Each structure stands twice: as C-alpha cells, then as structure tokens.
Amino acid sequence: MKRLFTPLIFFLLLCPGRAAGEDLLVITESNPPFTLNETCGPAGIATDLFLLMAKRSGLDVKRPDIRFWPWARGYQEIREKPNVILFATARTGEREAQFRWIGPIATLRSGLIALKSRRLAIKDPVSAAWRYRYGTIRSSASEQDLINRGVPPAWLERVHDRALNIRKLVNGHIDVLVGNEANTLYTIRRLGLDPNDFEMVCPLMTTDLYYAASPDLDPSMVQKLQTALDSLKADGTAARITAQYRQERAGRPFREEMLQAQQ
C-alpha cells in the first residue's frame, strides 16, 4: 500500500493548487477619476479600492494583472467569457440580470454636455438628436440609455476615448458630448481646459458605479469582495482614496509612491 501512495504524494508536491484569483480576468477602462492608466499601470479610485479588496479577500491580484481595455471590448468580454470582473460599471436595469454586482463605488449623473458659448437648450434628447451631433462612448450606459429612448445608433458619433470626444466638442466636430459629469469634468481639467466653459444642457440618468462580475463567478468570492469593500468604507480607507484623486488637477502627476505602495 505504501508503494502505491508514494508516487501520488510526490505528484501533489510538484503540482500545488492554483492560487486564488489565478483564473480571474480583471478588466478596467479609462473613466477618471475612477479608472485611468498611469505610468505604473491601471490606477484611479475604483482600481486602488479593488486592489485592497483583493488583498483582504485573499485573491492574488496585483496592479499589472489588471487589463486596461477600451470599454466596448471589456463589456463584450464579460458577457462572453467566465470568471471576469469589469469596472467601473454603471448598474442599470438593462444590465441588472446579466452580472453579479459588488458595490456601490460611487453615484454618477450622466447627460448631454455642451459648450456654454453655444447656449443650447435641450428638453427632449430624442427629438434633438436629428438636429445636433451627439458624441458617445460605444456601449456606455449613457449611450444605451439614448438608444433605449429611441435614438438610432446611426445618428450617434461613437468613439472609445472620452478625451477624443471633448476635443471634438471643442473643435466643433460634435455639438453635444454624452457622458457622466464626474468623468467629463475630470478629463477636461487634465486636458488643460476650463470646466466653467462647459455645462450639462440635458440630464439623462443617475446611476451607481459597481464592479460587475460574470454570473458564473464563485458566489463566495463575490461575497468576500463585497465584505472587503464594506470594510474599506467603514474604516475610512475608501474616503481617503477618493479624496486623494479628487484633489488632483490638470498637469499634476499622481504620486507614484502612493500607487506603488498599494501594489
């Protein structure tokens, strides 16, 4: 009997169990100040929070492990592949049953944003769509909201880059930028522009940002991450991280030592 078990024990010693989180694909996108790409890798409020959540949950996820993809690509990946977490994702009625949810991270207001100098007044975003050129982020919650209201996708100028939409707006290539207020104002500052030159001319929706998880992701892992996030809020860590990013201004690099310390 001893001779039978010896090879098996030897095999198990050579092939240890896979580390928690090894098969997990974590994806984020450019949605500052919640998610952004810095020289040290993915960063932002939601990214830094997730790294601490993973650590408290026993998951082996480091900053370089997080994929930084265009939103549409990440959104397609989580709908088609198992064991994926995508953030920061607006939790809408249309998406509710598609994913498991960990959060909330923050509350956002989305709408139609234009240059103040244009003095646009839009009451109905659908009827105004034939008259004004709308710039959207492909597959974003605000774009989906417009389409659900009846705006044909062909009427929208869809891109993957929020900064590109702001430049198009300033240069007169679109009339209205469709997106969330926090991200737009943050990106405007980082481009060296004055937020006071822009205004929301028609609100669309108020949504909460979450970490979206594939429906097949282990429920115990989801619960551990939720518990970790709740603890980060309770001990003040989440508030401190949020304050650090919201105090940043255009042209000021993020403190590399703070980001490296959270890897």
Going from the N-terminus, what domains does the chain have, and what CATH number goes with each? Answer: 24-107+209-261 (3.40.190.10), 108-206 (3.40.190.10)
Entry pTM:
0.76
pLDDT level of residue 38 (50, 70, 90 thresholds): confident
Is the pLDDT at 152 greater than 90? The verdict is yes
Q: What is the pLDDT of residue 32?
A: 87
11 or 51: whose pLDDT is higher? 51
Of 13-17, 50-54, 237-241, the one with minimum mean pLDDT is 13-17
Give the mean model confidence (pLDDT) for residues 137-146. Answer: 94
Give the mean model confidence (pLDDT) for residues 121-144. Answer: 95
Is the pLDDT at 251 greater than 50? The verdict is no
Q: What is the pLDDT of residue 21?
A: 55
Q: How many CB atoms within 10 Å of residue 48?
A: 27
Nearest to 177 by CA among 186, 190, 168, 188: 168
Q: What is the pLDDT of residue 7?
A: 47
Q: How many CB atoms within 10 Å of residue 211?
A: 27
Q: What is the pLDDT of residues 178-224, one digit of tens each?
A: 999 998 998 999 899 999 999 999 999 999 999 999 999 999 999 99
pLDDT level of residue 115 (50, 70, 90 thresholds): very high
Q: How many CB atoms within 10 Å of residue 241?
A: 20
